[in-house]
Amino acid sequence: MGREIIEALRQIEKEKGIAFATLLSALEDALHSAYKKAPDAVDHAKVEIDPATGEIRVFHLIFPEHVDVEALRVLNEEGEEIGLDLSGVDESEIERYEVTPDNFGRIAAQTAKQVILQRIREAERDLMYEEYVDRVGELVTGVVQQSDNRYTLVELGRVEALLPRSEQIEGERY
């Protein structure tokens, strides 16, 4: 199954233009969230995916006493822990024990799917923003898709935009 995951991430990278590392990190975060919901989950865990083989491994991390683990927690928008930021810690001081469950099951797969789709949407939104942020105040052409009393939907290449009535030319019909 591991190779298929890596191939799927590579395909998404090509189709959506999202960096492979971003997708891999999203998958690791998703699997970490799913793992934390398991009844036998350990407190401090790290999920790692081998980018070459797709092998998924979960490690129980035991920190030395001088490390403030609370300061290392990375939280999502809902306040749930999605991982630990180990960038400021000497990893040679951390004890690691593999605790990979036999299978994550259906709940883990569903959680992973939801988180990955959310990350893809966020990455696409960031790419669209980056494409147009330097063009503020510039006139761009597009194809009108539909129009109603409040907005006109305009296709601008890979992006669709809502043009409010206040920004439209008065008396112009689309």
Residue 94, C-beta contacts closer than 8 angstroms, at least 6 positions apart: 61, 62, 63, 64, 86
Instruction: Look at residue 172 and tell me if it is in a domain.
Output: no
Regarding whether 11 and 70 lie in a shared domain, the answer is yes
| pLDDT tens-digit series, residues 18-68 | 889 988 888 888 888 888 888 888 888 888 888 988 888 888 888 877 777
Q: What are phi and psi of 147, to 5 degrees?
A: -145, 145
Q: How many domains does the chain have?
A: 2
E strands, 16-77, where? 45-49, 56-62, 73-75
Q: Token pair for residue 159?
A: 């992006």
Q: Which residues pair with 47 in a beta bridge?
A: 58
Closest CA to 29 of 45, 13, 52: 45
Report d(CA 9, CA 74) in Å as an integer: 23
Regarding whether 83 and 43 lie in a shared domain, the answer is yes
Antiparallel, parallel or unpaired: β 159-164 and 151-156: antiparallel
Stretch 83-93: mean pLDDT = 73
Instruction: Look at residue 174 and tell me if it is in a domain.
Output: no
For residue 91, the model assigns a pLDDT of 76
| pLDDT at position 90 over 60 | yes
Regarding whether 114 and 154 lie in a shared domain, the answer is no
At 104, is the pLDDT very low, low, confident or very high (cuts 50, 70, 90)?
A: low
At 169, is the pLDDT very low, low, confident or very high (cuts 50, 70, 90)?
A: confident
Regarding whether 54 and 26 lie in a shared domain, the answer is yes
CATH value at residue 125: 3.30.1480.10
Closest CA to 9 of 40, 49, 41: 49
Closest CA to 1 of 107, 83, 109, 97: 109
At 144, is the pLDDT very low, low, confident or very high (cuts 50, 70, 90)?
A: very high
Q: What are phi and psi of 85, to 5 degrees?
A: -90, 105
Regarding whether 143 and 113 lie in a shared domain, the answer is no
Containing H/E element for 4? helix 2-16
Instruction: Look at residue 173 and tell me if it is in a domain.
Output: no
Q: Token pair for residue 136?
A: 């503020």
Instruction: Look at residue 113 and tell me if it is in a domain.
Output: yes
- Domain containing 150: what range? 139-167
DSSP reduced 3-state for 1: coil
Regarding whether 80 and 64 lie in a shared domain, the answer is yes
